[in-house]
Structure 1
Amino acid sequence: MTPSLLMAVLASGFIYAISPGPGVLAVFGIGASKGRRAGAAFLCGHLLGDVIWCSTALAAIIGARVIGTTAFDVLGLISGMFLFWLGWRAIRAKRSNEDEPKAPGRHPFWHGIMFGLTNPKAYPVAVATFTALLSSRADMLNWSMLPLLILVSTLGGIAAYGIIIGVVGARHVRTVYQRHELTITRLCGVMFIGFAINALMHAVPSLLPRKP
């Protein structure tokens, strides 16, 4: 396994965990109302869901690769289109008038577990993110690598959560985050579109019929 592959998996886990979404918004609300320790407990619980969804996504990617390059390229095409759609939605996002996520009661850790396991967008986002970043190294993937890939992606997620925990406990962070939430969301949208283009550039040429 090459260092570039390990870095790609590490980056995938990091980006998946730190990208703005329901979990990030929830932990900012929890940290503001109950403090950094409660926010950390929520993320520790949420990590279980991340590990499961990322593991499932990696297994699906390797499975598609083992079945054949066409299956992997189709997965890359679908993932690229999905990421482009997510990015486009994020760029066009408007400020929500809905109430902020409420902080959990006495058990933020268990709330985090349930939150992470029941997020319906977790699996498709994980597949799309990992496929986009690993598409250029698809020929290196095999089943024997799966345990190490899961470990490395988890380390990336833990690094992302460490940053979030450090930030969520800082003074006035919630106010600043809310004030610039749209800008942050739109920047992430641009990033997702970049990943989508990368995935499509690797998938589409392989799916086009070749000239005799």
Structure 2
Amino acid sequence: MTQTLFFGAFLAALLYVLIPGPAFLALLGIGAGQGRKAGALFMGGHLAGDILWSTLALVAIVGAKTIGSTIFDILGLLCGVYLAWIGWTALRAKPRGENQPLMSVERPYRRGLIFGLTNPKGYPVALATFTALLAGSSNALDFHALPALLAVSFLGFLAADIILIGIIGASVVRRFYRRHELAIVRLSGVLFMGFAVQAIWHAAPGLLGMRKP
């Protein structure tokens, strides 16, 4: 196992949490309206979903690699297309209504737990993100590496949670987000498009028979 592989897993987990999406926006609403403690409880519950979906994604990626590189390349291509679709959707996002009331959640931990485990985009986004960032180290992927990858991913989730908990609830963050919400969403779309290009870039040579043995 290489440092590149571990760094890719850590970065994938970090960005999986940090890139704006449904959970990010829910956290921002809770943190802005109820403070950092409520936001931390929400993220603590949501961590269960992060672990579940990333585990399933890594098992799928490692399994695909074990079966054969062609399946891995197809998986990478499909994930790249999916990421491109998410990115394009974000780039086309339209402004929301101004001064929308912030949500109030009585049990933020339970809300985060349910949100994380039932998020329909959790698995495909995790699969696409991890595939995009691990594709360059696909030769080092096997089931023996899986426990270490999960451990590094867990550290990535914790780092991302700490970062988000550290910034939510601040008045400057609320004002900045409300003022630049559309730009933030579209920037996330650009990031997804970048991941899409990377995933397709790694998959295309194998599918076209151009990858060196």
Q: TM class by shorter-chain length?
A: over 0.9
Number of the residue aligned with 1:157: 157
Runs of 4+ in 1 over 6 A off after TM superposition: none
Are the aligned partners of 1:45 and 1:116 in contact in 2 as well (CA < 8 Å)? yes
Contact persistence 2:61–2:72 (CA under 8 A): yes
Shift of 1:209: 4.9
Secondary structure class of the residue paired with 1:89: helix
Aligned to 2:61: 61
CA contact (8 A) 1:33 1:103 kept: yes
Q: Distance in 2 between matches of 1:142 and 1:15?
A: 23
One-letter amino acid of the structure 1 residue matched with residue 103 of structure 2: K
Taking the TM superposition and a 5 Å limit, the aligned residue runs for 1:168-207 are: 168-207=168-207
Supply the RMSD in Å over aligned alpha carbons.
1.5
Q: TM-score, normalised by structure 1?
A: 0.94
Deviations 1:149-188 (A, max 9, x none): 1111111111111111111032231121121111111111
What are the equivalent positions in structure 2 for 1:79-158 lying under 5 Å apart? 79-97=79-97, 102-105=103-106, 107-158=107-158
Distance 2:96 2:154 in 1: 31
Contact 1:9 1:133 in 2 (8 A): yes
Q: Which runs of 5+ in 2 are unaligned?
A: none
| Aligned-residue offset at 1:102 | 2.3
- Hey, what's the Cα distance between the residues in 1 that align with 2:65 and 2:152? 19
Which amino acid is the alignment partner of residue 21 of structure 1?
G
Cα displacement (A) at 1:16: 0.2
C-alpha separation in 1, matches of 2:81 and 2:7: 24
Question: How many angstroms does 1:101 deviate by?
Answer: 6.5
Please give the secondary structure, in 2, of the residue aligned with 1:120. coil
CA–CA distance in structure 2, aligned partners of residues 188 and 32 of structure 1? 20
Moved more, 123-132 or 88-97: 88-97
Q: Deviations over 1:81-137 (max 9, x none)?
A: 0011111111111113495662321x2111110010010001000000000011111
Give the TM-score, by structure 2 length. 0.93
Q: Is residue 32–residue 171 contact of structure 2 (8 Å, CA) maintained in 1?
A: no
CA deviation map 1:33-60 (0-9, x unaligned): 2211011011000011000000100000
Q: Structure 2 CA distance, aligned partners of 1:7 and 1:63?
A: 20
Distance 1:29 1:147, change over 3 A: same
- Return the alpha-carbon distance in structure 2 between the equivalents of residues 120 and 97 of structure 1: 25
- Provide the rounded CA distance (Å) in 2 between the counterparts of 1:64 and 1:187: 31
The secondary structure found in structure 2 opposite 1:94 is: coil
Q: Secondary structure at the match of 1:96?
A: coil
Identical aligned residues as a percent: 51
Question: Aligned in 2, Cα 1:118/1:46: closer, same or farther, shift over 3 Å?
Answer: same
Distance 1:84 1:128 in 2: 10
Question: Which 5+ residue runs of structure 1 have no aligned equivalent?
Answer: none
